[in-house]
């Protein structure tokens, strides 16, 4: 069983940034990525809010993911395309069990990310990045003077709906109930916004479009009637699921599955740090995930200097 200095679980912005910093510090680094590197950013058609990227033209999510990977591998980070199934052991000698074999690592950075919950309707995944989005901060600017739909009734949905009014000419919030999980203060702010309209006791049954979003089918829960509603974009905010199920009781998580970390990105287990969406309830941005990854890597490097 090969022993390495640092195992990074997850190849999104957090994991790749951590890999870059750690490899550049001459650590023996292996990044474990179950699919293709990049994480949630690969679902974004255009990225123009990462400093220095897309100054002249936006860059696609997969393109920036490949740049991150190339940069990390330039300094010696290795990529193992295999899902991590279990982690055990203690600082200095962690056992990492993957689908393709086992590894031993002195330290670990967890960055498996999270996945936005899907409605599970026709057109949702087919048009993801082509008018369907799970991030208003990322994609709102592409909908200037256009009409969009927001799906959800929690704080995230209402806050993002308010944010979208900076760009969109109209924001229609579709919620399956009349009652909201959003806090009264945020909800009242949205109700006072003249750009926001409401479709309550309603669900979206289908997203339509050829190469881009053109309309949605909205069903009234009371009458059962379904109508075609024209829109240029659909923003879905019904929650996220952190990809932390494989950690079970080894790492402390909250009730939603997010990994608990301190300001240094440390987990409850010595020698293990966490970064990115799997431990970020609020921001879920490319740049904040990258920053978390760098913090985790720097603290890991310092830990190894003291304990190796």
pLDDT tens for each residue of 136-145: 888 999 999 9
pLDDT score, position 124: 97
- Model confidence pLDDT, tens digit, residues 220-271: 999 999 999 999 999 999 988 999 999 988 999 999 999 999 999 999 999 9
Mean pLDDT within 203-231: 97
Q: Which of 138, 202, 278, 300 is catalytic?
A: 138
Q: What is the pLDDT of residue 35?
A: 79
Are residues 67 and 132 part of one domain?
no
End-to-end Cα separation, the chain, in angstroms: 19
The boundaries of the domain holding residue 199 are: 118-236
3-state secondary structure 133-155: ECCHHHHHHHHCCCEEEEECCCH
- Distance (Å, whole) CA 182 – CA 114: 21
Q: Does the pLDDT of residue 125 top 90, yes or no? A: yes
138 is catalytic: yes
Domain count, the chain: 2
Judge if 203 and 248 occupy the same domain.
no
Q: Are residues 177 and 244 in the same domain?
A: no
**7 and 93 inside one domain:** yes
Tell me what the pLDDT averaged over the chain comes to: 94
Q: 5, 46, 139, 254: which one is catalytic?
A: 139
Task: Check whether 110 has a pLDDT greater than 90.
Answer: yes
Return the pLDDT at 59. 87
202 is catalytic: no
In a shared domain, residues 122 and 225: yes
293 and 202 both lie in a single domain: no
Given 204, 236, 268, the domain boundary residue is 236
DSSP the chain: --EEEEEEE--SHHHHHHHHHHHHTT--EEEE-SSSTTGGGGG-S-B--STTSSSSS-B-HHHHHHHHHHHHHHTT-EEE---EEEEEEETTEEEEEETTEEEEEEEEEE---EEEPP---TTTTTTBTTTEES-HHHHGGGGTT-EEEEE--SHHHHHHHHHHTTT-SEEEEEESSSS-SS-HHHHHHHHT-TTEEEEESEEEEEEE-SSS--EEEEEETTT--EEEEE-SEEEE-S-EEES-GGGTTSS-B-TTSPBP--TT-B-SSTTEEE-SGGG-SS---HHHHHHHHHHHHHHHHHHHHHH-
43 CB-side CA count, 13 A: 18
Given pLDDT bands bounded at 50, 70 and 90, which one contains residue 163?
Answer: very high
Question: pLDDT band for position 297 (50/70/90)?
Answer: very high
Model confidence at 156, pLDDT cuts 50, 70, 90, reads confident
Give me the mean pLDDT over the 12-28 stretch. 98
Question: Of residues 285 and 18, which shows the higher confidence score?
Answer: 18
Please say which residue of 219, 236, 253 terminates a domain: 236
Tell whether 10 and 108 lie within a shared domain: yes
Annotated catalytic residue, options 5, 135, 232, 292 = 135
**Amino acid 183: pLDDT:** 87
For residue range 38-83, list pLDDT tens digits in order. Answer: 888 887 777 888 898 877 887 888 899 999 999 999 999 999 999 9
pLDDT of residue 281: 85
Whether 145 sits among the annotated catalytic residues: the reply is no
Q: What is the pTM of this model?
A: 0.83
Both 262 and 287 in one domain: the answer is yes
Q: What is the CATH number of the domain that holds 76?
A: 3.50.50.60
Whether 122 and 107 map to the same domain: the answer is no
> Residue 17: exposed, middle, or buried by beta-carbon count in 10 A (0-12, 13-18, 19+)?
buried
What is the C-alpha separation between 256 and 116, in angstroms, rounded? 13
Q: Report pLDDT for 69.
A: 96
Asked if residue 258 and residue 109 are part of one domain, the reply reads yes
C-alpha closest to that of 265 among 25, 47, 21, 60: 21
Task: Tell me what pLDDT residue 219 has.
Answer: 97
Same domain, 12 and 161: no
User: What pLDDT does residue 92 have?
Assistant: 97
Domain boundary among the residues 195, 215, 236 is at 236
Identify whether residues 84 and 135 lie together within a single domain: no
């Amino acid at each position: 069983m090969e022993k390495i200095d640092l195992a990074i679980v997850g190849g999104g912005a957090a994991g790749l940034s951590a890999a870059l910093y750690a490899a550049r510090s001459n650590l023996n680094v292996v990044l474990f990525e179950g699919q293709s590197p990049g994480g949630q950013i690969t679902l974004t058609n255009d990225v123009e809010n990462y400093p220095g990227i897309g100054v002249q033209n936006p860059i696609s999510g997969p393109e920036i993911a490949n740049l991150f990977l190339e940069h990390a591998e330039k300094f010696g980070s290795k990529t193992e395309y295999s899902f991590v199934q279990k982690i055990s052991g203690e600082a200095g000698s962690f056992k990492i069990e993957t689908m393709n074999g086992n590894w031993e690592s002195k330290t670990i950075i967890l960055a498996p990310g999270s996945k936005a919950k899907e409605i599970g309707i026709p057109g949702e995944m087919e048009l993801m990045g082509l008018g369907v989005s799970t991030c208003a901060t990322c994609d709102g600017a592409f909908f200037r003077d256009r009409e969009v739909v927001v799906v959800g009734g929690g704080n995230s949905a209402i806050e993002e709906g308010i944010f979208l009014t900076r760009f969109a000419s109209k924001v229609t919030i579709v919620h399956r109930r009349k009652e909201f999980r959003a806090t009264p203060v945020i909800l009242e702010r949205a109700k006072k916004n003249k750009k926001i309209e409401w479709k309550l006791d309603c669900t979206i049954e289908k997203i339509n479009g050829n190469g881009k979003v053109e309309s949605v089918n909205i069903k009234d829960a009371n009458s059962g009637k379904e109508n075609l509603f024209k829109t240029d974009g659909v923003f879905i905010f019904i929650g996220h699921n952190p990809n932390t199920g494989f950690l079970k009781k080894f790492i402390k998580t909250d009730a939603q599955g997010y990994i608990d970390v301190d300001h240094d990105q440390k987990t409850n287990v010595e020698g293990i740090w966490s970064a990115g969406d799997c431990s970020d309830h609020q921001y879920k941005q490319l740049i904040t995930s990258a920053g978390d990854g760098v913090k985790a890597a720097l603290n890991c490097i310092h830990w190894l200097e003291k304990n190796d």
